């Protein structure tokens, strides 16, 4: 298995920066308000919309600890701002010799982005040596990336200038610091590419004795819990060890999973049965403790068996006292649970 395949995804710094749909849609009135608030006055806003930028004059300074954009050889923020592109442009600085990116791929990139109006750096993954993963089939992704990245190669270093119309549009992105007329400039390094994982891939691992047995069928895993003793602590058993990076707390992971009750083997939830994987933040208290503790540190591409005691799942069953009915709780409270989880991605 080639480790360069992007089926093994890396950590992400701020992937939502690439999603045109992550800013709320605005009415015409709201767009006018945004335009007014993005600049000192109407004249300034109008000026910022006049195309004047040439991507050929933009370069990258790699002398410091992290790359920085330059304009005519000077720090970008000291250029004759605003920099405004009439349409999306791209320029290849270095040609890579790796796998070619296809429009069905996920692409792992490192990048920095600068606001062409203010010259301010918005986000850089280089400072923390991180990367983001872009799903080129995601229709909410910036059109510029869906158009420009297919056909590039792993190892390519790119500059992109993306006008507002091809990024956040008239709504802008106030949280990020992007106004409704701001061009965004990107320096981007293509690190990896490949078709998304649909199931675990990697080295098979012989499980410890006494654990539930797992047989993979067309509809996902079948989990046999007969004779398995109740756990006194969380058990994490990789069944396949993926070759991707480790999952870290704070990431959003994409998984297929099936969960059964240890008491009787009954399936209570399965993404395989629903026919599509699911995504959620990991390691930040958004899922049960057994998932947070059991999946952080596992590698992308892995299949993991989790045997979770009730206190690390949905808690102990509520107790009833004489003359008083226990407060209602989760229907799985008091149950030890077993999951098989395929970790398909982390970003």
Query: Rounded to an integer, what distance in angstroms lies between the CA atom of residue 129 and that of residue 56?
Result: 27
Query: What is the pLDDT, as a whole number, of residue 325?
Result: 42
What is the pTM assigned to this prediction? Answer: 0.67
Q: How far apart are CA 21 and CA 18, in angstroms?
A: 9
pLDDT of 166 higher than 70: yes
Instruction: Mean pLDDT check: name the lowest of 129-138, 232-241, 316-325.
Output: 316-325
Whole-number Å distance between alpha carbons of 19 and 21: 5
15-48: burial string, b at 16+ Cβ within 10 Å, e else = bebbbbeebeebeeeebeebbeebbeeeeebeeb
Among 42, 41, 54, 106, smallest CA distance to 80 is for: 54
For residues 161 and 183, give the distance between their C-alpha atoms in angstroms, rounded to a whole number. 7
| Helix (H) or strand (E) segment spanning residue 192 | strand 184-194
Q: Are strands 235-242 and 202-204 parallel, antiparallel or unpaired?
A: antiparallel
Q: Is the pLDDT of residue 2 over 70?
A: no
Partnered with residue 235 across adjacent β-strands are: 307
For 207, counting Cβ atoms within 10 Å of its Cβ (0-12 exposed, 13-18 middle, 19+ buried), the class is middle
Please, what is the average pLDDT of the chain? Answer: 84
Q: Name the CA radius of gyration of the chain, rounded.
A: 24
Q: Looking up tokens 């226990």, which residue turns up?
A: 326
Report the alpha-carbon distance of residue 122 to residue 114 in Å, rounded. Answer: 5
Q: For position 275, what pLDDT does the model report?
A: 93
Q: Residue 196 and residue 40: Cα distance in Å, rounded?
A: 45
Q: Token match 């297919």: residue?
A: 150
Which pair of tokens denotes residue 136?
A: 């080129």
Question: Reduced to 3 states, what is the DSSP secondary structure of residue 46?
Answer: helix
Q: How far apart are CA 286 and CA 146, in angstroms?
A: 31
Rounded to whole angstroms, the Cα distance separating 71 from 77 reads 8
Query: Which pair of structure tokens corresponds to residue 310?
Result: 């009730």
Q: How far is CA 283 from each of CA 32, 225, 289, rounded to the nearest angstrom?
A: 40, 27, 8
Please, which residues bridge with residue 61 across strands?
A: 68
Q: How far apart are CA 329 and CA 129, in angstroms?
A: 43
Whether the Cβ atoms of residue 340 and residue 304 lie closer than 8 Å to each other:
yes
Per-residue model confidence as pLDDT tens digits over 49-101: 677 889 999 999 988 889 999 999 999 999 989 999 999 999 999 999 999 99
Query: For the residues 310-323, what does the mean pLDDT come to?
Result: 78
DSSP for residue 240: E
Q: What confidence tens digit (pLDDT) does each residue in 247-290 have? A: 999 888 999 999 999 999 999 999 999 999 999 999 999 999 99
Distance CA 329, CA 12 (A): 36
Cα gap 195→7, rounded to integer Å: 6
Partners of residue 237 on adjacent β-strands: 305
């Amino acid at each position: 298995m080639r480790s360069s395949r992007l089926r093994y995804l890396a950590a992400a710094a701020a992937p939502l920066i690439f999603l045109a749909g992550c800013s709320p849609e605005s009415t015409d009135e709201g767009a006018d308000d945004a335009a007014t608030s993005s600049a000192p006055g109407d004249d300034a806003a109008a000026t910022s919309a006049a195309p004047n930028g040439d991507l050929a004059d933009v370069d990258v300074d790699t002398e410091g600890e992290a790359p920085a954009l330059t304009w005519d050889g000077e720090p970008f923020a000291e250029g004759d701002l605003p920099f405004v592109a009439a349409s999306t442009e791209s320029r290849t600085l270095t040609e890579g010799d790796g796998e070619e990116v296809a429009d069905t791929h996920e692409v792992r990139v490192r990048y920095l982005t600068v606001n062409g109006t203010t010259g301010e750096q918005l986000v850089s993954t280089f400072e923390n040596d991180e990367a983001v993963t872009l799903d080129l089939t995601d229709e909410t992704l910036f059109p510029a990336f869906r158009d420009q990245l297919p056909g590039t190669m792993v190892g390519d270093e790119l500059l992109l200038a993306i006008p507002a119309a091809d990024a956040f549009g008239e709504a802008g992105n106030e949280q990020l610091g992007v106004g409704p007329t701001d061009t965004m400039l990107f320096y981007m390094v293509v690190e990896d590419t490949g078709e998304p994982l649909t199931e675990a891939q990697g080295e098979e691992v012989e499980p410890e004795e006494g654990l539930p047995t797992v047989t993979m069928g067309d509809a996902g895993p079948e989990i046999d819990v007969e004779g398995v003793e109740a756990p006194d602590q969380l058990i994490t058993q990789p069944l396949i060890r993926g070759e991707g990076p480790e999952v870290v707390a704070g990431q959003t992971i994409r998984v297929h999973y099936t969960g059964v009750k240890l008491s009787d083997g009954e399936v209570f939830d399965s993404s395989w049965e629903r026919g599509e994987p699911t995504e959620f933040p990991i390691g930040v208290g958004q899922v049960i403790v057994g998932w947070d503790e059991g999946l952080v540190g596992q590698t992308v591409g892995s299949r993991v068996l989790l045997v979770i005691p009730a206190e690390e799942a949905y808690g102990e069953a509520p107790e009833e006292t004489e003359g008083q009915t226990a407060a209602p709780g989760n229907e799985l409270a008091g149950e030890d649970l077993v999951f098989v989880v395929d970790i398909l991605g982390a970003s």
